[in-house]
Amino acid sequence: MHPRQFASETPNKPAYIMAATGETVTYAELEARANQVAHWLRAKGVQRGDVVALMAENHPRFYELVWGMQRIGVHYLVIATALTEGEVAYILRDAEARLAILSPKVLGRLGEPHLPCPVEALDEGALAAIRACPEHPVADEAPGTDMLYSSGTTGFPKGIKSPLPTKFEQAPRAVEIGSRFFGYAQDSVYLCPAPLYHAAPLRWSLAIHRLGGTVILMERFDAAAALAAIDRYKVTVAQVVPTHLARMLALPDAERDRHDLSSLTSVFHAGAPCAVPLKQAAIAWLGPIIGEFYSGTEGVGLTVATCADWLARPGTVGRAVQGEIRICGEDGEELPVGSEGLVRFARPNPFSYHNDPDRTAAAYNQHGWPTLGDIGRVDADGYLFLTDRANFMIISGGVNIYPQEVENRLLEHPDVADAAVVGMPDAEMGEQVTALIEPCAWPVANEPALAARLDAFAREGLSAVKVPRRYVFRPTLERTDAGKLVKRRLRDALIAEDQAGVVAA
């Protein structure tokens, strides 16, 4: 299954529409432009097996570039637009990228970045050069695939570089799962409200193209604009994160009621824990059409919870549809049903972290069962309930944030003796990045002033999404005899204090 098929069968059907402007690209146009991108990249020396990075917002040319790379055997590496120059340089160097394509907005923010590979600006000059290329396929076509970076506890992201497909029609797992559980079909109109540099929106929207449906691409998420897009384009399927649901539910009743959402047949979410009250409110509003899935960029396993599953077992993330769930103890052995432990997958989709055999090995146990680092339990019917994350990954607004990177930055400040970064519950964002600080001098004479200095310092070295939203000062931070921060107890104590009103939010 491939969009080229629909360029012949339904050439004038929209492959995607930009939600705000209404700019429409048909399947025939997508086919021609993807071929032009393929020729353009070949002319720049890009070969099969190379890594080409794309760092752009939800740009009207995003899909054309990705499908062009997919035609010449390239690993297309999508990079978050908010990252700093240093963060981008690390990823490009680690991925051994041959070329990086950056949008004008990204370049305007970064200035003239010093990156470890050639950089191409996605400006009018580049677009003109692409449009001057032939619209027919390149002579040496070969299927490509994505290369994405996942979060890690060491302060550095980890690259997942999947093997290249052997044929163009080789459909990814998202096509089957989308069709089987979330109503994906050729007549689907799919709303993509999230950035395409995340795995889920990228993979799910490309799956729609493989089925011949239409993607409605939002340039950026806005709750009222999302409802307007559903109404205007008669959206049938949408994939969101819980923060999107929270922001839409927070709109005034009059704003929500003035949009016709009756075209929706399936809404599904992932990317972050969804509080039971939030999901109950969303179901009461939209009806029993809200499903969810649990997986990771690594793709080792996947669970799906239909709305009926969840209503029968509130809080579940479903049963395995890829791999087999195993709940394991610290010794790697499987625990009895109902026990809480590390979630692993037997019969997984094999994966490895690029250039990091140690972290790859650490993800697997002695039975060859990998983990995404989550803690949970399984009931007698095989339904998974997540209860924590072993690596204390913070997920804020659907974005993964690895605490150690933030801690490393804060520890560089001369007034900080120790730092622990945790995710605190947040009704809108899911979790809020919070820094517990052991200052060099105690007590702190002026906590707001020190918090302001630390905030400014953090922003100089971290992208905005990683900067703590709150600073809490402690005379000491508890560590084990081995020197590890006791983060669970630190976080639990702070939650208890907040609930008791000891620490102001």
Are 5 and 81 found together in one domain?
yes
With tokens 């809404």, the residue in question is 267
The per-residue pLDDT for 153 is 37
Would you call the peptide bond into 443 cis, given omega within 30 degrees of 0 as the criterion? Answer: yes
What CATH number should be reported for the domain holding residue 308?
A: 2.30.38.10
Residue 327 maps to a domain: yes
pLDDT for residue 154 is more than 60: no
Residue 429: Cβ-neighbour burial (10 angstroms; 0-12, 13-18, 19+):
buried
Domain with 342, as residue range(s), is 298-389
Are 490 and 451 found together in one domain?
yes
Of 131-145, 163-177, 488-502, minimum mean pLDDT range: 163-177
The per-residue pLDDT for 68 is 97
Average pLDDT along the chain: 91
Query: What are the residues whose beta carbons fall under 8 Å from the beta carbon of 336, sequence distance 6 or more?
Result: none
Are 350 and 461 found together in one domain?
no
The per-residue pLDDT for 484 is 66
What CATH number should be reported for the domain holding residue 148?
A: 3.40.50.12780
Are 456 and 322 found together in one domain?
no
Please state the rounded mean pLDDT for residues 111-124: 93
Q: Are 272 and 290 in contact (CB under 8 A)?
A: no
Residue 276 maps to a domain: no
Residue 206 maps to a domain: no
Are 118 and 83 found together in one domain?
yes
The per-residue pLDDT for 307 is 96
Please state the rounded mean pLDDT for residues 434-440: 95
Residue that terminates a domain, selected from 116, 143, 164: 164
Are 308 and 368 found together in one domain?
yes
* Residue 128 or 419, more confident: 128
Residue that terminates a domain, selected from 389, 418, 438: 389
Are 348 and 422 found together in one domain?
no
First to last CA, the chain: 51
* Residue 503 or 181, more confident: 181
The H or E element that residue 422 is part of is strand 416-426
- Tens digits of residue pLDDT in 71-110: 999 999 999 998 889 989 999 999 999 999 999 999 999 9
Residue that terminates a domain, selected from 122, 146, 164: 164
Q: How confident is the model at residue 16 (pLDDT cuts 50, 70, 90)?
A: very high
Are 378 and 398 found together in one domain?
no
Are 124 and 36 found together in one domain?
yes
The per-residue pLDDT for 172 is 77
Are 75 and 136 found together in one domain?
yes
Q: Identify the CA nearest to 24 among candidates 75, 63, 55, 74.
A: 63
Q: How confident is the model at residue 502 (pLDDT cuts 50, 70, 90)?
A: low
Q: If DSSP codes are grouped into helix, strand and coil, which group holds residue 95?
A: helix
Of 154-168, 447-461, 474-488, minimum mean pLDDT range: 474-488
Residue 230 maps to a domain: no
Are 350 and 382 found together in one domain?
yes
Q: How confident is the model at residue 373 (pLDDT cuts 50, 70, 90)?
A: confident
Are 384 and 400 found together in one domain?
no
Please state the rounded mean pLDDT for residues 424-436: 91
pLDDT for residue 439 is more than 50: yes
The per-residue pLDDT for 94 is 95
The per-residue pLDDT for 505 is 40
pLDDT for residue 240 is more than 90: yes
The per-residue pLDDT for 331 is 93
Backbone phi, then psi, for 325, in 5-degree steps? -70, 135
Residue 243 maps to a domain: no
